[in-house]
Amino acid sequence: MNKFIKLTAQRIIRVVGRLIYRKHIWLISDRFWRAGDNGEAFFRFLQSKPVKSVFAISALSNDYDMLKKVGKVVSYNSIKHKLLLCIADVSASSHDCHIEGHPETPQVFLSHGITLRDFHDYYNTMNHENYHTIVVSEQERIVLTTPPYNLKPEQVLLTGFPRYDYLINEGSEKIVTIAFTWRHYLWNLRKEDFKKSDLYKVYSSIFDNKELIKMINSYGYSVRIKLHPEIEKFRDEFSLPSGITLWDVNVSYREMYEKSSLMITDYSSCIYDFAYLKKPVIYYQPDYEYILNSGIGPQYVYDYKENGMGEVTYTVDGLKDCIETYIKTDCTMKAIYKERVNRFFAYKDRNNCERVYEEINRFLNKTV
């Protein structure tokens, strides 16, 4: 009943609101407290188009004033923002939860990550007749339009990611970046318990290996950790040895990709941006068997060895060997992974924003 009442209210607000508020708005967003993803990239692009775009972000965000210099901004979760969610021509966000599943409003999920693993619960929950999502590869399109996903082919737009238009492969420094992904079991974890978590044990296997850090430093490289946005709340809990630092929270992923020479991840799809630049990647997965057999989530299960963008290793000694091999070759991506990159990405130009723009106009002309 509550859902029915909510949907009815949304329909009424949309009909009445669009009669009164006649401006045709494209509502754009990333995370509510942070920009820097596909939303911001697309928002910047829209400033040169005949579209009235508005970016939704918390007024307390460090990015709020920066975005006001780019275009129109609305405070996230304000009354005006909630109104725009109902009456906008389209709502587009790199995070599904920020378009709030209003079925009356055409929506585009400007996906913040590559979708090759099992996230069908996530997508199916958000899906409705006016829902669309973007992808960077035909492989993703096949995954998202095959059961147990319930998306139709016309809802999955093969455009490439807007943020790829702004990636730069210049100015690399001797930096090895570690970027591990989020674990759902951390949602309700208290800060004081973070060091007891399995994720911190994975980090510690690197921190505690003095030979590994010494080897990296001996070649003039440093190690930096890029915390997942949801792990930033545990930043003060990290005990780092000499030779390892955390990337500043205000450093964008784009800047991190530009400056890093080598990236180590566990299961994060953020490495696809790095691989897109033909920079080398290593998957370090000492907890893979545990995740595979524990029921933590099928979203981590994927054939990284056959389809990943870099070597897979399960031990810290294997990681050490992989890192040293790359450092000795000035961190040049191997031919086998360059070929995988070329085969995977449908587009390697700087027209991703344009394609997203064209696709939105195409389905808006049918529905608005």
Task: Give residue 184's pLDDT.
Answer: 80
Burial, 123: exposed, middle or buried (Cβ in 10 Å; 0-12, 13-18, 19+)? buried
pLDDT over 60 at 297, yes or no: no
Domains annotated for the chain, with CATH where assigned, are 2-160+349-367 (3.40.50.11820), 175-344 (3.40.50.12580)
| Cβ pair 316, 205 in contact under 8 A | yes
pLDDT over 80 at 135, yes or no: yes
**Residue 116, both tokens:** 């090759």
Task: Give residue 102's pLDDT.
Answer: 73
Q: How far apart are CA 289 and CA 157, in angstroms?
A: 34
pLDDT mean across residues, the chain: 90
pLDDT over 60 at 64, yes or no: yes
Residues 6+ apart with CB under 8 A from 26: 46, 51, 52, 53, 54, 88, 89, 90, 92, 360
Look at residue 89 and give its three-state secondary structure. Answer: coil
Average pLDDT for 103-117 = 88
Q: How far is the CA of 205 from the CAs of 106, 197, 199, 228, 315, in angstroms?
A: 46, 13, 10, 18, 9
Task: Give residue 156's pLDDT.
Answer: 97
The arrangement of strands across the sheet holding 90-93 comes to: 72-75, 52-57, 25-29, 90-93, 107-109, 131-135, 156-158
| Cβ pair 237, 195 in contact under 8 A | yes
Average pLDDT for 96-108 = 77
Extended strands (E) in 164-256: 175-178, 222-225, 244-246
What residues does 72 pair with on adjacent strands? 54
- The CA-CA-CA angle for residues 167, 168, 169, to 5°, reads 125
The DSSP secondary-structure symbol of 31 reads B
Task: Give residue 23's pLDDT.
Answer: 72
pLDDT over 90 at 85, yes or no: no
The predicted-structure confidence for 212-269, as pLDDT tens digits, reads as follows 999 999 999 999 999 998 899 999 999 999 999 999 998 999 999 999 999 999 999 8
Task: Give residue 17's pLDDT.
Answer: 62
Average pLDDT for 133-137 = 97
**Residue 132, both tokens:** 């669309």
Task: Give residue 121's pLDDT.
Answer: 85
Residue 285 confidence class, pLDDT cut points 50, 70, 90: very high
Task: Give residue 133's pLDDT.
Answer: 96
Backbone region of residue 36 per phi and psi (left: phi > 0; alpha: psi in -120 to 50; beta: other values): left
pLDDT over 60 at 1, yes or no: no
Q: How far apart are CA 286 and CA 266, in angstroms?
A: 9
Average pLDDT for 182-194 = 88
